[in-house]
């Protein structure tokens, strides 16, 4: 089965899924901006929703799928996404919709399928060792509503009331988020949106990172942090992270609770299990995805 995946390069989360899968040899990924027809493939998987896909549905004769990475909460908060998702579920030319969120697959049934996302561990590498870690890293897609940005910015400000020496390092806050950070007097450094090796370097240099989101279909940023030996504070939306490590903040809606969790994690020696757990998560998810891909070859 020859699989080609495509999505716009600006779809960072979807691109990460497709690029990691390509790095593992599971499929060939072609950014939508460079996609040329005809395609040498048996199946094409579109990532997310884009107007160009509607044109390609008639021009591509091969079997067509959609990967939907947005968790249902994000789909609800960004109402246009729900309309796009429902369109794909109704569109007969789309054979299957692949959800990373198992609950979404179970809710929709029918032509929906579920499989975990691939993780190409060898891609997550800094340029070199960083012995003098400092500050808190906060690198998420800031325009996604379920990322809980304001609560986390407020939590860092509360933490800084007793630890003024600790800065927040972030990249790509929206104008509204920037105004909020300035209004509350947050000490932070916005170094701009980072990708590739720059992103891994920035994450590796931090004492800890934040990913206390309201909903996730996985959470690549948290896994990247753990692979780089940087403990990441998360929410219960990422159940693959064991609770016993002190990395899970139980109430992502409360800035003070998040601030208390930051204080506990920042001044605690990182658990030695952080990277080994991330490696085991990657291995298990990759094995599961390969099994699903083999099963999907026989789907009607």
Per-residue pLDDT of 55-96, as tens digits, reads: 999 999 999 999 999 888 888 877 678 899 999 999 999 999
Spell out the alpha helix ranges (H) of 1-146. 12-23, 51-59, 72-77, 79-90, 102-108
pLDDT band per the 50, 70, 90 thresholds, residue 44: very high
The tokens for 254 are: 């409360």
pLDDT band per the 50, 70, 90 thresholds, residue 22: very high
- State the Cα–Cα distance between residues 188 and 174, nearest whole angstrom: 14
Quote the pLDDT of residue 155: 98
- State the Cα–Cα distance between residues 214 and 253, nearest whole angstrom: 8
User: Which residue has better confidence, 270 or 110?
Assistant: 110
- State the Cα–Cα distance between residues 267 and 233, nearest whole angstrom: 13
pLDDT at 23 over 90: yes
- The length of the chain, given as a count of residues: 300
The tokens for 215 are: 């909903």
> Which of 280, 145, 293 has the alpha carbon at shortest distance from 223?
280
pLDDT at 300 over 90: no
Quote the pLDDT of residue 235: 96
Quote the pLDDT of residue 76: 82
The whole model's pTM is what? 0.92
Cα 156 to Cα 133, 134, 170, 229, 246: the distances in Å are 17, 14, 12, 21, 17
92-13-143-173 Cα dihedral, nearest 10 degrees: -170
pLDDT band per the 50, 70, 90 thresholds, residue 127: confident
The tokens for 58 are: 């008639």
Q: Which domains does the chain have, with CATH numbers?
A: 3-114 (3.40.50), 122-280 (3.40.50.2000)
- State the Cα–Cα distance between residues 133 and 56, nearest whole angstrom: 47
pLDDT digits (tens, 9 = 90+) for 273-295: 889 999 999 999 999 999 999 99
Q: Quick one: how far is CA 5 from the chain centroid?
A: 18
pLDDT at 8 over 80: yes
Please say whether the beta carbons of 159 and 128 come within 8 A.
Answer: no
255-261-267-268 Cα dihedral, nearest 10 degrees: -170
Quote the pLDDT of residue 239: 92
> Which of 78, 60, 71, 144 has the alpha carbon at shortest distance from 114?
71
- State the Cα–Cα distance between residues 231 and 270, nearest whole angstrom: 6
Beta strands 208-211; 232-234: pairing state: parallel
Average pLDDT, the chain: 93
The tokens for 55 are: 């044109």
pLDDT digits (tens, 9 = 90+) for 207-266: 999 999 999 989 999 999 999 999 999 999 999 998 888 899 999 999 999 999 999 999
- State the Cα–Cα distance between residues 210 and 213, nearest whole angstrom: 9
136 sits in the region (left: phi over 0; alpha: psi -120 to 50; else beta) called beta
């Amino acid at each position: 089965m020859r699989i080609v995946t495509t999505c716009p390069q600006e779809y960072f989360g979807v691109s990460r899924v497709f690029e990691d899968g390509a790095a593992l040899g599971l499929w060939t990924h072609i950014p939508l901006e460079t996609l040329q027809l005809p395609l040498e493939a048996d199946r094409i998987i579109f990532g997310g929703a884009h107007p160009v896909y509607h044109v390609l549905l008639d021009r591509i004769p091969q079997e067509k799928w959609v990967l939907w990475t947005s968790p249902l909460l994000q789909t609800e908060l960004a109402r246009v996404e729900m309309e796009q998702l429902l369109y794909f579920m109704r569109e007969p030319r789309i054979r299957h919709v692949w959800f990373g969120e198992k609950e979404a697959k179970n809710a929709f049934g029918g032509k929906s399928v579920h499989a975990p996302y691939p993780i190409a561990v060898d891609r997550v590498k800094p340029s070199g060792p960083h012995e003098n870690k400092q500050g808190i890293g906060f690198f998420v897609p800031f325009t996604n509503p379920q990322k809980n940005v304001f609560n986390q910015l407020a939590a860092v400000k509360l933490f800084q009331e007793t630890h003024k020496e600790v800065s927040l390092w972030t990249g790509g806050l929206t104008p509204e988020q920037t105004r909020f950070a300035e209004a509350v007097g947050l000490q932070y450094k916005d170094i701009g949106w980072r990708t590739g090796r720059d992103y891994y370097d920035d994450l590796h240099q931090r004492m800890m990172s934040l990913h206390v989101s309201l909903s996730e279909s996985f959470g690549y940023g948290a896994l990247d942090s753990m692979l780089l030996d940087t403990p990441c504070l998360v929410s219960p939306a990422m159940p693959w992270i064991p609770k016993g490590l002190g990395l899970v903040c139980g109430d992502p809606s409360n800035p003070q609770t998040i601030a208390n969790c930051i204080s506990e994690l920042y001044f605690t020696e990182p658990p030695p299990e952080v990277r080994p757990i991330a490696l085991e998560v990657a291995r298990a998810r990759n094995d599961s995805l390969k099994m699903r891909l083999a099963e999907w070859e026989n789907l009607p």
